[in-house]
Structure 1
Amino acid sequence: MEFFGEYDVIVVGAGISGVVASVAAQQAGARCLLVEGSGILGGLLSGGRLNRPNGIVQPGVHKELLVRARNYGGADDAIQRWPWGTYSGLFDPEVMQRVIIETLEESGVDILLYSQVTDAVMEGRTLKGIVFQTKSGPGVAYARCLIDASGDGDLAARAGASFMLGAAEETMQPMTNYFRILNVDLVALMGDCQANKHDLTNVYPDDGLPRENGEYALKFFANGFSERISKARSDGFQWIVPRDSIVLKAGMLPGEINLNATRFHGNALDPRDRTRAAIELRKQAYCIHDFLRRYVDGFQNSVLYDIAPTLGVRETRRVIGDYVLTKEDVRTEARFDDAIGLSNCPIDIHQPDGRKLIMESVGNGYGIPFRCLLPKGVENLLVAGRCISSDPVAFSSTRNTPACALTAEAAGVAAAQAAKANIRPRDLEVRDIQESLHKRGVVLGTDPQQRIPGS
């Protein structure tokens, strides 16, 4: 087994949570290794083509990435409003990949791609390192503190942490794949949307309509088309998608539309389900493009450009931590003494056993307790991102990228502090973590009077 070194901090998973956590740890003075099973940095933000955060991006590494992307002409960090609150941080996925690479390299994070974690090195209940598989065989690395940013809670599960799956065992929100269509006549599409508002839940912009395709870049948004989907079925069109609406989002290029419309019900931890999802979601993308070309103005001369290489997994394991964030916390704008970030990401539920999408505002937002990042029964491990400790409804908010980045920023800072002091993350003074985050500009969510600027 090849020895890859000893570090202050090891982060598993290089989606937005892993990128933010590793850079934050390195900025806080830790020597950090970032390990990723695929060849893509940024996860859903790059390989998943997810270009619109559901919530305001707070200061910290995530915000720094957006500012850099904006400087390349590939992002708009202005605050936008929609029925479920405010959000910020529209971007082009490939520009985001570029700035992630630049940021990681400049920060000095050590990176290992194509390295799948297969085991946890334990000493009693204390996590000491990871075993991972590479093309050259197994490898091992050790650290004073580790962060599971895998999304699926892979490292936490291998370390023996307890976890939850969905609202009930094996019932989880469906998988998806974003895809992109080019050569769309966005002026004609907006005309179609204006003429068929009864068939839409939302459409933006809705006043002062632009006259050229390029003016819609990173701005146009529409959700709906249920009546036309129903008509297509009655016409004999083979609609194979298990949902009754389509979400359209303009990309950076003139005539570019990003779609969130596919759906596969299954367990992403099951290799056969995951394989079927990868195939069926592509077939659904072909079906949706055929539908749009036939039933929606502006798509007649369009081209299906690409389907995201990274599978959009919404839900798998949620680690049981020292505190489980609840739906009541999220819905009542809860504040906590140990909060490490205030999130205004809406509740966003793709029904595990149905065709519907449920969106719900969380008002001025809720605090995320540091305790949600501490897995019960395991030491020297923090979790960040999608797998933090939360119930099914709270998770439907915390799984959104701005909330994931908040928990990752805190995990990176905490891991660096724990490694430097050679103590367990549980033994840290939360106020020290909060002080560091506050200096970065993060609104913590400790005080009922706190608001995210622009929310």
Structure 2
Amino acid sequence: MRKLTLLLPLFITARLFAQNIREVDICIYGGTSAGVIAGYTAKKMNKSVLVIEPGKRLGGLTSGGLGYTDIGNKYAITGLSRDFYRRIGKHYGRFETWIFEPGVAEQTFQQYIKEGGVEVLYQQPITAAKKEGKRVAEIQTASTIIRAKMFIDCSYEGDLMAKAGISYTVGREDNAQYGETYNGAQLREKHQFPDGIDPYKEPGNPASGLLWGISPEQVEKQGTGNKKIQAYNFRICLTNEPGNLIPITKPLGYDPARYELLLRVVQKSQPRNLGSMLKIDHMPNHKTDINNNGPISTDMIGMNYNYPEADYATRAKITRDHECYNKGLLYFIGHDPRMPEHLRQEMLQWGYPKDEYPTSGNWSPQMYVREARRMIGAYVMTQANCESKEIVTDGIGMAAYTMDSHNCQRIVADGMVKNEGDVQIGGFGPYPIAYRSIIPKVEDCTNMFVPVCLSASHIAYGSIRMEPVFMVLAQSAAVAASMAIDNQQSVQDVNVPKLQATLRQRPLATDARPEILVDNDDSSHVILKGNWQRETKGAYGPSMYISNSIGTIRYTPEVTRSGSYRIYTYVPKRTDLPASTHIRVSADGKTIKQLAYTPASIKVEGQTAGEWVDLGTIKLAKGDKAYVEITNEGKDGEVVADAVLFYPE
């Protein structure tokens, strides 16, 4: 009853003083990469849409510094998410690019908003949600009441989900809860301090107190669940282009004592360059995407525990603290006289780019919120799904990244400082993500989707939580929301096979001719002759074929719509490719065109994995007579055969 008396005056006040009351088919909360794709998709499904963005910028982390795309396997990325990276590629004169500048990403998201005619309300954090029975009827922001038939929470924090009273969790489950092995407390060797690093302000003197950032808590038994959150940071965009460079200066609130542990690590390990403390990935136009690396880096370990459920003022303070810590780290490395001269000089070549984030002081407004709330929905994705020990049949997207968690705390173990929580377990291929994992339990809500803070255990979420995957799931959510509206259904009653078919038939949410992908594992469309060895590492999709003996592999597309198609074959990153690979292409099964590509023609810069090699354009008639055949003729190395793509022109 107390909860009711608190909520009612809020909505009465909202109705009296709100400047605006809006009614739409679909309301999307969060203008992240997922939110933009969901909004565009819903509009293409002929629905009225409103995107509510708490901040001032679209694209979330994808436009906020994460330009060196974490992906795992490109095969997992479909639909408009894949289209986003194709649009980025077009900007750089490529077919497809997964490495890009923040401003280019933001411009691309704005293209979707403009093309779709999607309305966005900026600087409108949610303050309340009102439910009627099991349905969310409306939400309240600072100045607007939004009523909608369906809601999609695309925020990194799950604020709409929480305001609507949907079940969620924060932190790490105990391994025993879902029969996992990599959840809970984990003391491992990756991003770990070398043995012997003293944790005390006065080395060897516990009475002097712990250095900044070290927790006095005892390390828990391996696999024990707790509410600690994996560390946040910023994905930092710097430049070494003199004409575009703003020098790194001392940030407000700078405290060199925060980096004492870095000095102790440097003194012990004697690093040759910055790579031991900063993961510097290079972007186009002399820019970077810098991520955490090593025992002490950009991750502000243990300083974000309150963030997921905090109010906006507290979150803003936590974000400022992380910004200060990250900027301070860069300044410390370049200016503290105790740092080795060669590291200081290497750091001083970098500065903030003048042409990035001009409205936020040339610093990203988007902190890397790796994990906050996670819904406890109709189905919980777990380690078993990642490892394909349990395979769902209601998949509406795929993931393929390593089960990844950054460190959660810095503690003392056996008298030495250690990090706890980092897990990086891979070695598995793409796997499906359940539709049930993006919808609530029926008793919680019947008209909401949660494609970002989806229903997954901590360690499974670590594999799923990639920006391209969020976009895939958001598109699926928007299509499902449209179907639910059309059929006057709850989200739990959506016809999933029909949803899956729609996603396949309209991958760009339009009636445009879809591309045709023929992958090695599609046995009905791939014919092998000779001795080919199946390999999985580095492949597009589940596998690729390699041969150093005489043989061919033929890819035969099923053409459902006649037209002109550009052909691409996928070539993984390898150093042992032959001088040339010979290919035969036929549009009708009779007339044959001889082609070849060389390693020199493969432009792997701008990619995080292999590359699509352009084989030219072909006109295809409806049917299955056409083929692309990779041969071993003239080989002087191992011939690689992976997927073939027919892209409509």
TM-score clears 0.5:
yes
Aligned to 2:375: 319
| Aligned: 1:118 with 2:175 | no
Flag the structure with more relative contact order, 1 or 2, with Cα contacts below 8 A and sequence separation at least 6. Answer: 1
| Aligned: 1:59 with 2:93 | no
Q: Which runs of 5+ in 1 are unaligned?
A: 79-88, 186-226, 238-242, 444-448
Report the structure, 1 or 2, having the larger helix content. 1
- Whichever residue aligns with residue 381 of structure 2, its letter is L
- SS of structure 2 residue aligned to 1:413: helix
Can you list the C-alpha shifts for 1:291-317, whole angstroms capped at 9, x where unaligned? 268444754433244432211111110
Aligned to 2:396: 340
Residues 218-229 of structure 1 correspond to what in structure 2 (within 5 A)? none
| Aligned: 1:419 with 2:419 | no
- SS of structure 1 residue aligned to 2:161: helix
Aligned to 2:151: 146
- Whichever residue aligns with residue 345 of structure 1, its letter is Y
Please tell me whether the aligned partners of residues 268 and 313 of structure 1 are also in contact (alpha carbons under 8 angstroms). Answer: no
- How far 1:252 sits from its partner (Å)? 1.2
Can you list the C-alpha shifts for 1:430-449, whole angstroms capped at 9, x where unaligned? 01110111124599xxxxx6
C-alpha separation in 2, matches of 1:344 and 1:142: 36
Out of 350, 358, 376, the residue aligned to residue 302 of structure 1 is: 350
- How far 1:181 sits from its partner (Å)? 2.3
Can you list the C-alpha shifts for 1:200-257, whole angstroms capped at 9, x where unaligned? xxxxxxxxxxxxxxxxxxxxxxxxxxx99655356999xxxxx974211101113x22
- Whichever residue aligns with residue 54 of structure 1, its letter is D
Q: Are residues 280 and 65 of structure 1, via their aligned partners in 2, closer, same or farther at CA, if it must alter by over 3 Å?
A: closer
Please tell me whether the aligned partners of residues 26 and 416 of structure 1 are also in contact (alpha carbons under 8 angstroms). Answer: no
- SS of structure 1 residue aligned to 2:409: coil
Residues 128-147 of structure 1 correspond to what in structure 2 (within 5 A)? 128-133=137-142, 138-147=143-152
Out of 166, 179, 183, the residue aligned to residue 240 of structure 2 is: 183
Please tell me whether the aligned partners of residues 122 and 129 of structure 1 are also in contact (alpha carbons under 8 angstroms). Answer: yes
C-alpha separation in 1, matches of 2:79 and 2:54: 25
| Aligned: 1:383 with 2:383 | no
Out of 169, 172, 175, the residue aligned to residue 229 of structure 2 is: 172
Q: Which runs of 5+ in 2 are unaligned?
A: 1-17, 173-224, 243-260, 293-297, 336-340, 354-361, 411-418, 509-514, 516-520, 523-535, 542-649
Please tell me whether the aligned partners of residues 68 and 289 of structure 2 are also in contact (alpha carbons under 8 angstroms). Answer: no
TM-score normalised by structure 1 residue count: 0.78
Q: Are residues 421 and 258 of structure 1, via their aligned partners in 2, closer, same or farther at CA, if it must alter by over 3 Å?
A: same
Q: Are residues 337 and 231 of structure 1, via their aligned partners in 2, closer, same or farther at CA, if it must alter by over 3 Å?
A: closer
Residues 20-169 of structure 1 correspond to what in structure 2 (within 5 A)? 20-46=37-63, 48-55=64-71, 56=74, 58-73=77-92, 77=96, 89-133=98-142, 138-167=143-172, 168-169=225-226
Q: Are residues 251 and 419 of structure 1, via their aligned partners in 2, closer, same or farther at CA, if it must alter by over 3 Å?
A: same
CA RMSD of the aligned region, Å?
Answer: 3.0
- SS of structure 2 residue aligned to 1:282: helix
Out of 498, 502, 512, the residue aligned to residue 436 of structure 1 is: 502
Q: Are residues 147 and 235 of structure 1, via their aligned partners in 2, closer, same or farther at CA, if it must alter by over 3 Å?
A: closer
- How far 1:13 sits from its partner (Å)? 0.4
- Whichever residue aligns with residue 540 of structure 2, its letter is G
- How far 1:392 sits from its partner (Å)? 0.6
Out of 406, 414, 417, the residue aligned to residue 350 of structure 1 is: 406
- SS of structure 1 residue aligned to 2:58: coil
C-alpha separation in 2, matches of 1:120 and 1:362: 42
| Aligned: 1:263 with 2:299 | yes
Aligned to 2:540: 454
Please tell me whether the aligned partners of residues 320 and 389 of structure 1 are also in contact (alpha carbons under 8 angstroms). Answer: yes
C-alpha separation in 2, matches of 1:180 and 1:25: 32
- Whichever residue aligns with residue 68 of structure 2, its letter is R
C-alpha separation in 1, matches of 2:269 and 2:331: 17
C-alpha separation in 2, matches of 1:177 and 1:431: 39
C-alpha separation in 2, matches of 1:326 and 1:274: 32
- Whichever residue aligns with residue 72 of structure 1, its letter is H
Identity %: 23
| Aligned: 1:283 with 2:325 | yes
Aligned to 2:435: 370
TM-score normalised by structure 2 residue count: 0.55
Please tell me whether the aligned partners of residues 68 and 283 of structure 2 are also in contact (alpha carbons under 8 angstroms). Answer: no
Of 56-65 and 161-170, the range deviating more from structure 2: 56-65
- SS of structure 1 residue aligned to 2:99: strand
Please tell me whether the aligned partners of residues 345 and 362 of structure 1 are also in contact (alpha carbons under 8 angstroms). Answer: no
Residues 391-410 of structure 1 correspond to what in structure 2 (within 5 A)? 391-410=457-476
C-alpha separation in 2, matches of 1:163 and 1:244: 37
